[in-house]
Every structure is written in structure tokens, then in C-alpha cells.
């Protein structure tokens, strides 16, 4: 095989990516078009109606956009107190030791558990607990979904943050120690400022994960098509409404679901892009 044929073969293989991604966007846009045309793009985004009585069909994405944003934001808040210590444990306090290796294996395994099993655990263990604590009567809801989501994104946030914490140059830390700083002060005044942008970007990527999580949220959020009015009430996220209704939908409803999928695709693509750019910058700096 000569070099020319080899190059052509590799090039053809690389063409798969543009074809697949172009196909994704094309398919989403053409199939979502009916809904956008019928309701208008901005009207679709801001309407909170979701009713499929024949003849008076009304579909809007607002309840699901709100649901997704609420679960993601709450999951992020719940995840920080755990992922940051894990990152410090692995990247600074016990860097390179056996305990750190065990802990990072544990978080790797957490990342490997399929989301449907997280959903089962949330449904059969966490939901009764929430009912028993009288936090919400039905147990499922935005709060339950976000708690489990938080566990799911801890590994992503922690492993990437740990990487940035490890990269903080030793002479900076030693400089601080020689001035009499305690380790806690080194963490707060040296590690966080230096690794801060990297840590921040790892949380952005964790958000990207949480936005599209489907099965866990579907099993735990309660599946009602309203804007959740508090964190304990039920709702639906963009991914969960698709998972719930896609199989039985047709016509305008199917198109509306695909439109929601398109919006979700745009949001995750944007968040991931921001995260990747920030990581690149943090790595160079």
C-alpha cells in the first residue's frame, strides 16, 4: 500500500465525523421545523402549555427548559461540597499515595454505573427517605432528581479538578510554606487562585453532563408537564419529556419533542464548547 492510498483511507475515515455531526444537525433541524413553524421559535421557547387534545394542540418548551436548568443547577450546588474535597484529597493532601488511588478508583466506578441503576437506587432508596423526612409528600421531584444527579457528576468534576490541582507548581507552594503558611492557607491562597480557572472549567463540563442525563431524571422527577414552583415539586426536564413521550408521539407532538431535543443539543454543545476552551486556556496558563 503506498502513501497516497493510505492518506486517502485515513481522510475518508476522518470524514465520518463531519458527516455524522452534519447529519445530526440536519436531521434535528428538518424534523423540528414543523413545530418551530407552527408555533414560532420564540413562542415555542416561552410557552408553558403542553396539551395534546386533538385540534387544539399546544406545545411549549418552557417548563422543560426550567426543569432542566433547575435540576442541573441544584445538582451542581450539591456536588461541589463533595467533588472539591475529593479533588483536594487526590491532587494535594494525599497526592500519589495508595489511599488517593483507591479514592480515584471509587470515583471512576461511580462514573461507570449506568444511569438507569442510579435511577433505581434513587427511586427505591432515596425517595422513601425523602418521604420519611417529610420533605415532599410524593417523594419524587426536582430535589430527588438533583440529589442523584449530583452523585453522578461528582466523578467528572473531581477527576478533572484534581488534575489542575496537581499541576500547581511546587515552588509556589514551597514559597508560601517558607513564609509560614499552613496547608489550609496554601490551599486557599495559592492552589485555588492558580488552579481556579481549571477547577471552574471542570464544573462547566460537569454541567454539560448533567444537562443531558436522561433515565435518572425520568425516573425521579415525577413527570408532570408544569413549571416546577419549588424545588420539592414535580416537573419534567427536556431529556425526560423526550424519554417519556417520544415512543407514543407523532405529527406535531413528535416534531415538538424533536425541537426540544434540538434546543437541548444546542445548550449542551454551547456549554461543552465553553468548557473545552476554558480548559485549553487553563492548561496553557
Per CB under 8 A, contacts with another protein among 36-95 are: 81-86, 88-90, 93
Residue closer to another protein, measured from CB, 80 or 231? 80
How many CA atoms does the CB half-sphere of 15 hold within 13 Å? 6
Query: Cβ neighbours of residue 159 under 8 Å, at least 6 residues apart?
Result: 87, 90, 104, 107, 108, 111
Residue closer to another protein, measured from CB, 7 or 43? 7
Using the contact rule CB under 8 A, the part of the chain among 55-63, 130-138, 167-175, 182-190 near another protein is 182-190
Residue closer to another protein, measured from CB, 186 or 194? 186
- Rounded-to-integer distance, Cα 260 and Cα 271, Å: 17
Name which of residues 5 to 24 contact another protein (CB under 8 A): 5-7, 9-11, 13-14, 16-18, 20-21, 23-24
Instruction: Output DSSP code: residue 91.
Output: I
Using the contact rule CB under 8 A, the part of the chain among 46-54, 56-64, 114-122, 228-236 near another protein is 114-122
Number of chain residues interacting with another protein (CB under 8 A): 82
Q: Tell the smallest beta-carbon distance from residue 58 to another protein (Å).
A: 22
Q: Tell the smallest beta-carbon distance from residue 42 to another protein (Å).
A: 22
Residue closer to another protein, measured from CB, 148 or 194? 148
Q: Which of 174, 229, 230, 273 binds another protein (CB under 8 A)?
A: 273
Q: Say whether residue 103 binds another protein (CB under 8 A).
A: yes
Q: Which of 58, 138, 197, 272 binds another protein (CB under 8 A)?
A: 272
- Rounded-to-integer distance, Cα 168 and Cα 1, Å: 47
Name which of residues 192 to 211 contact another protein (CB under 8 A): 208, 211
Three-state DSSP class for residue 59:
strand
Q: Say whether residue 285 binds another protein (CB under 8 A).
A: no
- Rounded-to-integer distance, Cα 160 and Cα 106, Å: 15
Task: Give the three cell numbers for residue 67.
Answer: 426543569
Please say whether the beta carbons of 73 and 144 come within 8 A.
Answer: no
- Rounded-to-integer distance, Cα 152 and Cα 155, Å: 7
Please say whether the beta carbons of 171 and 232 come within 8 A.
Answer: no
Using the contact rule CB under 8 A, the part of the chain among 53-61, 120-128, 133-141, 192-200 near another protein is 120-128
Q: Tell the smallest beta-carbon distance from residue 129 to another protein (Å).
A: 11
Name which of residues 121 to 150 contact another protein (CB under 8 A): 121, 123-125
Q: Say whether residue 177 binds another protein (CB under 8 A).
A: no
The sign of the torsion formed by the CA atoms of 211, 237, 61, 54 equals positive
Helix/strand/coil percent split, the chain, to 5: 80, 0, 20
Name which of residues 209 to 268 contact another protein (CB under 8 A): 211-215, 218-219, 239, 242-243, 246-247, 257-258, 261, 264-265, 268
Integer CA distances (angstroms), 124 to 18, 130, 199, in order: 42, 11, 33
Amino acid at each position: 500500500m503506498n502513501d497516497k492510498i493510505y492518506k486517502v483511507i485515513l481522510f475518508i475515515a476522518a470524514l465520518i465525523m463531519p458527516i455524522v455531526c452534519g447529519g445530526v444537525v440536519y436531521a434535528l433541524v428538518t424534523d423540528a421545523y414543523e413545530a418551530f413553524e407552527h408555533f414560532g421559535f420564540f413562542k415555542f421557547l416561552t410557552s408553558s402549555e403542553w396539551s395534546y387534545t386533538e385540534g387544539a394542540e399546544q406545545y411549549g418548551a418552557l417548563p422543560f427548559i426550567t426543569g432542566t436548568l433547575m435540576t442541573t443547577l441544584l445538582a451542581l450546588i450539591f456536588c461541589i461540597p463533595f467533588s472539591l474535597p475529593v479533588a483536594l484529597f487526590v491532587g494535594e493532601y494525599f497526592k500519589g499515595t495508595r489511599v488517593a488511588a483507591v479514592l480515584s478508583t471509587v470515583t471512576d466506578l461511580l462514573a461507570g454505573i449506568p444511569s438507569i441503576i442510579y435511577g433505581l437506587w434513587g427511586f427505591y432508596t432515596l425517595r422513601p427517605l425523602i418521604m420519611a423526612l417529610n420533605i415532599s409528600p410524593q417523594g419524587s421531584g426536582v430535589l430527588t432528581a438533583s440529589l442523584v444527579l449530583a452523585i453522578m457528576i461528582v466523578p467528572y468534576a473531581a477527576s478533572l479538578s484534581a488534575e489542575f490541582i496537581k499541576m500547581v507548581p511546587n515552588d509556589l507552594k514551597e514559597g508560601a510554606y517558607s513564609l509560614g503558611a499552613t496547608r489550609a492557607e496554601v490551599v486557599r491562597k495559592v492552589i485555588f487562585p492558580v488552579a481556579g480557572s481549571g477547577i471552574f472549567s471542570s464544573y462547566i463540563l460537569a454541567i454539560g453532563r448533567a444537562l443531558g442525563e436522561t433515565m435518572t431524571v425520568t425516573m425521579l422527577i415525577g413527570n408532570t408537564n408544569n413549571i416546577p414552583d419549588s424545588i420539592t415539586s414535580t416537573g419534567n426536564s427536556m431529556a425526560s419529556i423526550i424519554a417519556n413521550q417520544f415512543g407514543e408521539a407523532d405529527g406535531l407532538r413528535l416534531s415538538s419533542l424533536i425541537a426540544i431535543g434540538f434546543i437541548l443539543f444546542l445548550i449542551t454543545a454551547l456549554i461543552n464548547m465553553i468548557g473545552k476552551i476554558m480548559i485549553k486556556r487553563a492548561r496553557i496558563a
